[in-house]
Structure 1
Amino acid sequence: MKTTLLGAALLIAAGLIPAVGAAADAKELKIATEAGYPPFEYRNPNGQLEGFDIDIGNELCKRLNRTCVWIDQSFDSLIPGLQARKFDLANSTMTATEARKKVIDFSTPMYIVPVKLMVKKGSGLQPTAESLKGKRVGVQQGTTMETYARKHWAPKGVEVVAYPSYTNAYVDVTAGRLDATFQEAQSAVEGFLNKPEGAGYELADMTLDDPILNEPIAMGIRKGNAIKADVDKTLKAMLADGTIQGYAKKYFAEGLIQFPAQ
């Protein structure tokens, strides 16, 4: 999902950090996320972090006997933050692409989510350069969706507009400044389509099958961080015993998430 320092302040989630059952003196595990991407990571009306990735991270801390400290910052600053040792893990719907693997490590794969184009009902738009020529498509900065759109669509006359958050993109959709947005399908459902302002919009029928978009989601880890072995072992156990799949049932419609074979 995201790569540029935007200078966003690190918001250590004091008072918003779930206890997750760890001992009071347990070693901290600092996990960064961008809490503007429901249902993966977001803040509830009380300002507390919630979401699929948050549930996974809290359970990881519990099983490792660590105290979770969540750090909320822009997605495109997650990799620089890892490299600067500002936190231990990046858990924010980050796709484990080959390009990212050159600069950080990743945990064992956790899940895969399909990517969809969100369009106005009746527009007939589909995620192809031919269909979108002359149109404006919103993506989030630093995401694999931006990478794909700039590689395959922009050279063929599609205007790709990048935003710090899809929240901003959805505002521009309703204002008529965008013709479509391109994101994980469930994020569009939770972040826009299920809201009153999303009533006139839908997901395009076509689902793209491309290596850029179909890489698994994993946790980012600084290269050389010895915690990777414990994180991998714990996440594999959480998949094997159905914990992660159980969390998914809280957030995802059927068919909008897949899991690695066990």
Structure 2
Amino acid sequence: MDTDPTLAHPTWLPAQVLRVRGGRLEAVQQADQLAEETPIALEFNGISHATMLATPADLEDFALGFALTEGIVGDAHDVRGIELREECDGVVVEVEISSACAARLKERRRAMSGRTGCGLCGVETLPEVMRDVAPVGAAPAVPLAAALAAMRALRDRQPLHAATGATHAAGWADADGRLQVVREDVGRHNALDKLVGALARADLGAAQRAGSVIVVSSRASFEMVQKTAAAGVGLLAAVSAPTALAQRLSQRLGVGLMGFMRGDDATIYACQERLAG
């Protein structure tokens, strides 16, 4: 069994395309780049849990972030090890978690067994969708200028998107708006899970996380708010709009919510107290 943690897959591939310019089809094919997406199967203590299509990079961060934001583990220290294995044109990510977490996961799966699915996002029950997440703790407000600066900086920290135009990014900035960590993926949720995993590895203090900002190159669904709160970050800023459910959840979890971030313009949807100025 190949468990080499350095398994490398291309994140984009070259392609030949025909372009249409001014309504006219150009006669000569040109070189282009396409973002790669690969089946990624997550296993916890040998039990298959989920398979997603994702960009095959930063998969250890992805697995850790997914485990945290989905409530499979409560802390990064509950993850004992992560190994990658190539299989069937995809990658299996084997995650070893503590026995207590594994027992809870098995009980959760047993409780879901046999129930009629609600058909929402592949989750079988509504409580699994709207699961309990602890509100983000108090922290000094992030300066508005810092949040705007972090979003502007995100645009220059997306090499895969620059090459392909097909990926999303999630970045974490400190209270001064300095963008410290960025992760990219074809899926916006995957990009955020990768970021959350990277933050967990950094082992930041609760106050430092609460007084910081996550910026995303997408809209802000309730799941993005939920994942931000699970990471303990107090402010989520999105390029596009949030949903009404995302706004309500932000208010309940104490997550500042910004949208339509364009240059020096933005709209604040929830928890204005997370911002200063």
Please tell me the TM-score bracket, short chain as reference.
under 0.3
Higher relative contact order (CA 8 A, sep 6+): 1
Which entry has the higher C-alpha Rg, 1 or 2? 2
TM-score w.r.t. the length of structure 2 is 0.26
Q: Per residue, is there more strand in 1 or in 2?
A: 2
TM-score w.r.t. the length of structure 1 is 0.27
